[in-house]
Structure 1
């Protein structure tokens, strides 16, 4: 299967990268109160925080939900091999890589292909896909845990996110 061309960007570089790559489709994943750049391409916006669980006692945190992930899967199903897709979030290291994994897994039904495509886009160890997004997608795509099991292959050189904070 021929995949669309995927690229990942932090929000600051997204307009420049979209223009350079002549993106035909943009997926913006932003915090609920974050401003979004404007783009000429077909633009899909999702809003949720980059967290992997709801913070205890916190009403302001909006984690990714089943609906957010279903929207990414639906977006992936609109893609064709000629599309040039830019995915961006705040930093381009968690939500965007997770979204690309989800989209490639949707199109190929292969976690291995999803990890391979992500490695082609950004160097291993430069990202830590949002695990909650991946868990939700694994269930929706009925992958039986295969996508979740491939997460360690995505960031085997990356630091444990629990060690960062």
Structure 2
């Protein structure tokens, strides 16, 4: 894939969106729950290209909730292809990826885009890049699993995710309790040294 000519990469939560309205955001990937109200913060943004994907931030099926599926991750990759295709029409860009809190869905999507743009980069380096962008990243494991398959990474993204979880817990032990309370105990148990 050719470079996407994006020099600024941002991940945030909904409550942080107003802080980015004057920062020249050119592309937005919104990952929000189905039925979420329109996000008024974008009314204060300059003209930008935005797509919205609607699914819940869950890792186990729950009644009335939409699980992340391979089709959602394929749409993230399609968004990446559109970024690459639009490169000739712009000199630079600022990509903002957000979900509700800027921790799980958005960081999984950003990691997916990084892996797409840098196919030769090691998976651990991709996660290090992600931590530089969003230190509190705890990517949704279901989404990373689909990205692993769709990008032909043969399990290496998932293995690196385990190490990333271990890194996060080592540097912020309270995150393990927080994730367990959110129904993400399986991801906490995935953590590796």
The TM-score with structure 1 as length reference comes to 0.86
What is the aligned-residue RMSD (CA, Å)? 2.0
Among 106, 114, 119, the alignment partner of 1:104 is 114
1-structure distance, mates of 2:29, 2:106: 9
The match for 1:73 is 77
* Deviating 4+ runs (over 3 angstroms): none
The match for 2:60 is 53
2-structure distance, mates of 1:3, 1:63: 32
Q: Which moved more, 1:127-136 or 1:2-11?
A: 2-11
1-structure distance, mates of 2:53, 2:4: 26
CA shift at 1:98, angstroms?
0.5
1-structure distance, mates of 2:75, 2:11: 18
Deviations 1:88-136 (A, max 9, x none): 100001001100000000111232342122111122xx23110000001
Aligned 8 A contact 2:11 2:98 in 1 = yes
CA shift at 1:77, angstroms?
1.9
Report how many aligned residue pairs link the two structures. 159
The TM-score with structure 2 as length reference comes to 0.75
Greater Rg over alpha carbons, structure: 2
Does residue 129 of structure 1 match 2:132? no
Q: What is the DSSP-based 3-state SS (H/G/I as helix, E as strand, rest coil) of the residue aligned with 1:6?
A: strand
CA shift at 1:13, angstroms?
1.7
Q: What is the DSSP-based 3-state SS (H/G/I as helix, E as strand, rest coil) of the residue aligned with 1:49?
A: coil
The match for 1:31 is 33
1-structure distance, mates of 2:5, 2:144: 20
Give 5+ residue unaligned stretches, structure 2: 170-174, 184-193
Aligned 8 A contact 2:112 2:144 in 1 = yes
CA shift at 1:3, angstroms?
6.1
2-structure distance, mates of 1:36, 1:134: 27
2-structure distance, mates of 1:139, 1:72: 14
Give 5+ residue unaligned stretches, structure 1: none
Aligned 8 A contact 2:13 2:101 in 1 = yes
Q: Which moved more, 1:6-15 or 1:68-77?
A: 6-15
The match for 2:19 is 16
Q: Go from structure 1 to structure 2 and tell me whether the alpha carbon gap of 1:24 and 1:54 turns closer, same or farther (over 3 Å shift).
A: same
2-structure distance, mates of 1:99, 1:14: 17
